[in-house]
Amino acid sequence: MTIKLGVIADDFTGATDIASFMVQSGWKVVQLLGVPDENTLIPYDADAVVISLKIRSCPAAESILQSLRSCHWLRHKAGCRQLFFKYCSTFDSTSEGNIGPVIDALMDELQADISLICPALPINGRTVVHGHLFVNGQLLNESGMQYHPVTPMKDANLLRLIEQQAKGRAGLVNLDCVRQGKLAIRHHLNSLRQNGIRYAVVDAMIMEDLVPIAQVASDMVLVTGGSGLGAALASYHSGDALEATTIGETPPAIGRRTVILSGSCSVMTNQQVIEYKKIAPGMALNVEECINNSGYASQLANWVIQQPEDGLAPILYSTQSPKSLEMIQQQYGIIKASHSIEQVFAEIVNELKQQGFNTFIVAGGETSAQIVQSLEIHEISIGASIVPGVPWVRSLQNDCWLALKSGNFGGENFFLLAQEVFHK
């Protein structure tokens, strides 16, 4: 089987997100965690290989280096015919990057003269209209994403956002053009090229809008966007309908020891934590203790271990409201607070794994990356979707199962729903 697509994802939840959508669209997908090297086995029996990186908020030079190393492996070792740079459907980035710098580096490496900018994921409420990104009908910068602790989104105009980060000019493929079909899109892209446009922002309001975009993108050496376009590409190549299904494995109910770890401060995750605490044991992380108490992780791990094994999984969370988050950042600094919390989560997971915990439900991209790295997981298989974009995944190194949830994905009952799908 020829590997049709190599995906470079800028965070771990985003990687499982696109992998899940492509599996639901009929492809076999292998997901690797971290930059592969000469010892990484090449999964020749896959339609797509997804590489999970943690490059959303690191220095731009480091994100470029990891992306190019991944690109080289996918092209020259795995023989991928097409590359896909996957970023979040809320375009999480700063005015400096890292989305723009990575796209530029990959375009230069692959000698691509134009790149699609297509983060839309309508099934999860992410739509693009007149080049503006909306979240559940609200402009991106009014959706709660303006309070993101690491990548606050202050503008919804994707043309402005990409031009601030990258080195070229952006143009628009509007909804009217998209709905005229692939020939109209292709003609408009040629016109943009002739006018020196380097980035083509593409409108999409419903999942079906992504189908003609994918048809055009199937001929491009480099595609960039969110998991919606990834799903449409897989659906186009496999001939399957572009729709959500629940195929795939789920964790066995017998022998599960489960914990929930929430580091996201998104609007939805705040609601999910509030709802879950009504029915299950919960403990909030104290930032000052994370910074100053070397034994704090052990204390929290012991609290988890002491909770009843036959009830709902306990939750540890650093999830904060926007007001509380602002106060914490002012007191401790963004980097110091975030790093300390992530380190405590990593230490907790190590202790819990030694005590037999084998199922981890995680909210937040940065938190997910830290926990997966702490568990020393390098390759995972994609299981059934809990909600669109959040599958169960199983480590191929050990018996660990994980649900890695991007901050705003899922409904208010997500943490309960994730446990209800354990198969008997």
Q: 69: which 2 tokens? A: 């190393």
d(CA 362, CA 316): 10
Give the per-residue pLDDT at 1.
Answer: 63
Residue 122 CB neighbours (<10 A): 18
Give the per-residue pLDDT at 271.
Answer: 97
Non-local CB neighbours of 295 within 8 Å, separated by 6+ positions: none
Pinpoint the residues of the chain covered by CATH 3.40.980.20.
258-422
d(CA 351, CA 349): 5
Residue 138 CB neighbours (<10 A): 13
Q: How far is CA 380 from CA 16, 80, 278, 364, 383, in A?
A: 9, 19, 32, 18, 9
Pick the CATH number of 258-422 from 3.40.50.620, 3.40.980.20, 3.40.50.720, 3.50.50.60: 3.40.980.20
Q: Is the dihedral of CA 93, 401, 274, 292 positive or negative?
A: negative
d(CA 333, CA 353): 31
Q: 263: which 2 tokens? A: 């580091």
d(CA 266, CA 133): 17
307 alpha-carbon distance from chain centroid: 30
Give the per-residue pLDDT at 348.
Answer: 98
Beta-strand relationship, 222-225 and 169-173? unpaired
Stretches in the chain below the pLDDT threshold 70: 1, 241-247, 423-424
Give the per-residue pLDDT at 43.
Answer: 86
d(CA 89, CA 210): 13
- Residue in this structure with the two tokens 């299981």, named with its chain if needed: 383
Name the amino acid, one letter, at 32: L
Give the per-residue pLDDT at 107.
Answer: 98
Give the per-residue pLDDT at 145.
Answer: 94
Give the per-residue pLDDT at 241.
Answer: 66
d(CA 86, CA 115): 12
Q: How far is CA 369 from CA 15, 98, 211, 299, 390, in A?
A: 10, 17, 31, 23, 15
Pinpoint the residues of the chain covered by CATH 3.40.50.10840.
5-238
Q: Does domain 5-238 have CATH number 3.40.50.10840?
A: yes
d(CA 30, CA 44): 10
Q: How far is CA 75 from CA 50, 72, 315, in A?
A: 13, 5, 41
